[in-house]
Chain A
Amino acid sequence: MIIAEQKPLEEIKDLVGDAEKVLVAGCGTCVTICFAGGAREAETLAASLRMSTRLDGATKTITDTNIQRQCEWEFLDEQREGILDADVVVSLACGIGVQAMVERFPQAWVVPGVDTSFLGVPAEQGLWEERCAACGECILGITAGICPIARCAKSLLNGPCGGSEDGHCEVDPATPCAWQLIHDRLTSVGRTEILINPQPPKNWKAARDGGPRRIIRDDLRIVAEQE
């Protein structure tokens, strides 16, 4: 899922500026699970903004809501009125949600209340770790289900590098060496022969290096059927 972290209150206040009607919009999916921008966080942020604004001597109307999925038009449409009525919407969704809202309602002024951090898992209660770099060409089938693109600091296809020490990364000793994990797992399942052939250079055009990406499915597109 997408992992995010709420911005400091001061930064959010700067983004809100002198807007008088403020809507704090939580999102019911990824940011809810990582406790960054769900209904509860939206409610807490709205209360914090109200209190802080009053202490500053300003008067604003600050309300909060929750949208099931801010990255889909259908769910945004359900709250069209509230979004358009606000001078500013503080979206607690990931960067996708903020942009979806702007695209759907070009008249609305939407600012982000969270920093979108990475694609990852809740490794344990209160700890989230990156697992996927969305590189566009998944190699997990040859790396024992452990991604060196996302989890190796150098994104090596043939590792480990010389900086792997006692199973940890030289960049951050708190990070396990992805290639150590790959070797250990392949050994445990008796499939180390997978590593005999070195991997050729990766096609990074499928990743961000090829510019913004899109997927077209003509069998699903309604527009394509009408043309």
Chain B
Amino acid sequence: MKARKRIARAQDLLAEIGLEPERVEMFNMSAAMAAEFAAAATEMTERIAEMGPNPLRVHRPESAGG
């Protein structure tokens, strides 16, 4: 599957740059697999929460939003 190989390549690039490759992940499921989708979303949310925010993300003050 081409997408899986591309995700692996993206993970390699992240590792080379110095970011955690686990920040990107591919999950396989059909549109009817709601429970699996929710589980994957929860897993990623917990994983990212543990790793912390992307250190390269520019901090924007909340007042600047809109």
Contact = CB atoms under 8 A, between A and B. Distances in A.
Interface of A: 8-10, 44, 48, 51-52, 54-56
B18 A52 contact: yes
A55 B13 contact: no
Where chain A touches its partner, the secondary structure class is: helix
Interface string B23-49: 000000000000000000000000000
Contacts of A9: 16-17
B24 to A, nearest CB: 14
Interface size on B, as a range, is under 10
B3 interface: no
B51 interface: no
A55 B19 contact: yes
A52 B56 CA distance: 9
A56 B18 CA distance: 9
Contacts of A48: 13, 16-17
11 contacts: A9-B16, A48-B17, A51-B17, A51-B18, A52-B16, A52-B17, A54-B56, A55-B17, A55-B19, A55-B55, A56-B18
